[in-house]
Chain A
Amino acid sequence: MNYGMTDDQTSILGGLDQLIASQAIPAPTEPRFFYYGAELERAVAEAGYLDIAREEGFGALEAALITERLARLTCVIEVAASSIIAPALAIPPGMRPIALALGDAGKPARFLPQARVLLVDRGTNVLLIEVDPNNVEPIDTLMAYPYGRLRSLEHLRQRVIDDATTFRRRWRVALAAEAAGCMAAGLAQVVEHVKARQAFGRPLGAFQAIQHRLAMAAETVESARWLALRAAWSDSDADAAMAAGFAQSRIAQITYDLHQFCGAMGLTLEFPLHLWTYRLRSLAGELGGASMQARSAAIATWGSA
C-alpha cells in the first residue's frame, strides 16, 4: 500500500501541467454551456498522454490520473475513453475521439459530434461503429459536453467486440476518474467564491452551515478520487462499480450544494461552475446511474445468488 506517486507518475503529471500551461485554454469569457478544447486535445494526444496505458510499465492508473487532472479544466476534451477504455479493447491509438452509448446506437452520446468512433454497450458484446461526421446530428443540451446522435443507423461501418465485461469495467473507471476531477474543480471554484463573497459583514465561508456542507463535499471529492484510482490500479469489476457508483451517488448532493452557495450567480452561464456540475449531471445517468452501479458492485463482491 502506498498512496504516493512514483517518480514516473509525478513526471507524467508535471509534464501534463506544463503542457496545459503552454496552451491557450478557452477562458469562459462568453456565456456558453461548454467549451470544447480542440487545440488542447490535439496537443495532449500528440504528446502521447492519451496512449499512456499502452506504454510498458504504465496502465489504467496513469490514464486515470491524467483524466482526473484534465477534467479539472474549464474546457472539455475527450480523454477518458481514449486513454482508459480503448487500450483495453485493442482499439488502435489513432481511432479517437471516442463516444460511448449504452444499449442503443441511436441514443444521444457525449462527444459524438467530434467522435471518430462510437462504442455501444449491448450487454453481451460491444459494437464499434466508425462514425461518419455527416451522419451525426449535434444536440443542444444543458450539459457541459458536446452531445450528438446518429441520424441514421443504416449502412454503418461497424464491428463487434466480444469483451463487454472489460468495456463496462473500464467505462466505470473512466467515469469515476472524470467525475472526481469535475467534483474537485467545482468545489475549488465554490471555495474561492465563499471566501470572497461577504454577507452580514463576513465571508459566506465563515458561516458554519456552509462550512459543514463544503466539508462534506470535500469528503465526497476525496472519496471519489481515491476509489477511482484504486479501481484503475486493480482493474477489478467490484472496485470499478464501487468507484463509479459512489461518484454517481454523490452527484446530486454535491451539485446542489455547490450551486446553492453561489446563489443566483451560480445559475448563470457567466459564472463557470456549470462547466463542471453539468458534466457531473451528465455523468450521473451513465451506465444506468448509481443504483445500477451499486447493484453491480454488490454482485461482483458477493455473487448474484
Chain B
Amino acid sequence: MEFGWAQDERTHRERVRAVLKGMLPPDWETIALHGPGSREQTIFSKTLCARLAQEHLLIPNWPKEFGGDDETVWRQFIMAEELWAIGEPRGPQYMNINWVGPVIMRFGTRPQIDKYLAPIRAGQAIWCQGFSEPSAGSDLAALRTRAVPVVGGYRVTGTKVWTSYAGLADTCFLLARIPSVNDSSQNKAAIVILLVDMRSPGIQVKPIPSLIGDGDIHEVFFDDVFVPAEERLGAEGQAWEIIQFLLQHERIGIPRYEFSRRILDRAVAKLKAIDRWSDPIVQERAGRALMLCEAARMLVYRIVDDKARGLAPDSFGSLARWSIVQADNGVNDFLTEFLPEGLLGDDPLQQAHHQRAISVGVASGAAEIQLNLAAQRWLELPREPRRS
C-alpha cells in the first residue's frame, strides 16, 4: 500500500503544469466563465487541444495503434487532475478523449475509426451526447427517439434534451429506438447507436438558457433525419453493451474534486489577503471543505488504482461519485458564505466553479441513481420492487 507519487509521476505533473501554464491565455478565467459548451470555450478548445496534441498530451492514454502513447493509467490521471485544477480548458473535447474515442476504437468499423479518430487526435472535433430525452434521463432505457430502418440507413425522429455542446457539435453520439415487435419502452435490445452528422437536414438545435453557463444545454429536434447505415456503431442489439462500456469511461475520468481543491486553495489566499483568515470559524469551515475534497480524492483514486492494477471494475464508482457531489458542494458552500463577492462579478473562476458545482449531482445521471447502485451492488441490498 502506497499513497505517494513515484519520481517520474511527479516530474510528469510538473511538466503538465508548466505546459498548461504556457498555453493558457491571460483572459482564461473570463473565457472559463462562459462555460465549457460556450462558443468562447469551444473555439479556445480547438487551439488548446491542437497544442496539447503537439506536446503528446491530448490522447496519451490511447493505444499506440490509434495514435496515442499507451500512457499509464496514473500518468493519464495526473494529466486529468491538472486540467480540472484549472477549470478543464479542453471544454467539450474532454469527452472525445475519455470515451468517444475509446468507444469507437472498441466497437467502430475501420471506416468509422478512420473518419472520427483523426479529428479527435488533432483536437478539432466537437461531439455531443444525444442521450437524455424529455421522458428519459437517468432512466435511459425509456428513450423514445425512433430510428426507422429504410433503404441504406435509418430515418430518425424524436427529441433530445439537456444535450451539452450541441450548438457547435459536428457529430452527435445518438441513442435511438428501432421499432420492433417487442416495442416496450424498456426494451434495451431495440436501442441503436448512430453517429449523426449535425449538419444533416432535419436537425434543429435550440439552446436552453440556464444557470450553468452559455451553450451548455440544448434541445435537439430530429425530424425524419436520414442517417446512413454505415454510421451505426456496433450491431443492432449491441447498444446496451456499448453504453455500459462508455459509462465506465465517462465516469472514471473526471477528477472534479481537483477543481474544487484548487479553488479552495485560491479562496484561502484571498481570505488571507483581506485579513479574514485568522478567524477560527473561517479556518474551521475551510478545513471541513478540505476534508470533503480529500475524501473524494481518496475514493476516486481507489477506482483509478483498480484500473491501473488491471482489476475488474466494481460498484465503488457509485460511492466515489457521491463523495464528489459532497466535495463540490462543500467548497461551493464555503465560497458562497465567505467570499460572496466572487459571485457578484469579482471572480469569474469562482462563478465557473459554482456553475459546475450546482450541476454535479445531475450531470452524467442523477447522483441518487448512484446511491441506488451503491445500495444494491456495493451493500447488496434487495432491489426496490418495480411498480406494475
Contacts and interface: CB of A to CB of B under 8 A. Distances in A.
B187 to A, nearest CB: 24
A203 B384 CA distance: 9
A31 B339 CA distance: 52
* B interface majority secondary structure: helix
A2 interface: yes
Interface stretch (B60-68, B100-108, B290-298): B290-298
A6 B3 CA distance: 13
A6 B278 contact: no
B28 interface: no
Interface stretch (A68-76, A132-140, A211-219): A211-219
A242 B294 contact: yes
A271 interface: no
A249 B294 CA distance: 14
A2 B288 CA distance: 26
Contact of A297 (B278, B291, B370, B385): B291
A5 interface: yes
Given A227-B298, A302-B268, A194 B381 contact: yes
Contacts of A191: 379-381
A203 B376 CA distance: 13
Contact of B305 (A3, A207, A211, A246): A3
Interface stretch (B169-177, B233-241, B317-325): B317-325
B374 to A, nearest CB: 4
A245 B319 contact: no
A214 B381 contact: yes
B286 A195 contact: no
Determine the main DSSP class of A at the interface with B. helix
A21 interface: no
A294 interface: yes
Interface string A283-305: 00000001111111111011011
Interface stretch (A44-52, A77-85, A117-125, A228-236): A228-236
Contacts of B382: 195, 202-203, 205-206
Contacts of B183: none
B283 interface: yes
Contacts of B5: 1
A229 B385 contact: no
A61 B383 CA distance: 37
A104 interface: no
A215 B319 contact: yes
A242 B288 CA distance: 8
B319 A206 contact: no
B278 A249 contact: no
Interface string A1-42: 111111001000000000000000000000000000000000
Contacts of B374: 215, 218-219
Interface string B341-381: 00000000000000000000000000010111011101111
B2 A2 contact: yes
B375 A219 contact: no
Nearest to A244: B291
Contact of B284 (A211, A216, A295, A305): A295
A298 B284 contact: yes
Given A6-B1, A195-B381, A202-B382, A299 B295 contact: no
Contacts of A245: 287-288, 291
A104 to B, nearest CB: 22
A194 B309 CA distance: 34
Interface in B254-299: 265, 268, 272, 277-278, 280, 283-288, 290-292, 294-296, 298-299
> Which of B280, B286, B380, B381 is the most central at the interface, judged by chain A CB atoms within 10 Å of its CB?
B381
B221 interface: no
B302 interface: yes
A159 B2 CA distance: 36
A230 B287 contact: no
Interface string B311-330: 00000101100110010000
Interface residues of A, number: 54
B372 A211 contact: yes
A242 B1 contact: no
Contact of B294 (A5, A227, A292): A227
Contacts of B316: 222
A223 interface: yes
A292 B294 CA distance: 17
A88 B10 CA distance: 29
Nearest to A239: B294
Given A245-B287, A298-B290, A211 B1 contact: no
A242 B291 contact: yes
Contacts of B370: 215
Contacts of B288: 245, 249, 290, 294
A98 interface: no
Given A4-B309, A293-B287, A222 B302 contact: yes
B283 A295 contact: yes
B116 interface: no
Contacts of A246: 291-292, 294-295
Given A1-B3, A229-B3, A216 B371 contact: yes
A258 interface: no
B301 interface: yes
A218 B376 CA distance: 12
A305 B272 contact: yes
B375 A214 contact: yes
Nearest to A231: B3
Interface string B5-29: 1000100000000000000000000
A3 B302 CA distance: 7
28 contacts: A3-B309, A5-B1, A191-B379, A191-B380, A191-B381, A195-B381, A205-B375, A205-B382, A206-B383, A211-B372, A211-B376, A214-B379, A215-B318, A215-B319, A215-B322, A215-B370, A215-B371, A218-B374, A218-B378, A219-B319, A226-B301, A229-B1, A230-B3, A233-B2, A242-B287, A242-B290, A245-B288, A295-B283
- A-B CB proximity, top 4 nearest: A294-B287, A211-B375, A298-B287, A223-B295
Interface of A: 1-6, 9, 61, 187, 191, 194-195, 202-203, 205-208, 210-212, 214-216, 218-219, 222-223, 226-227, 229-230, 233-234, 239, 241-242, 245-246, 249, 290-299, 301-302, 304-305
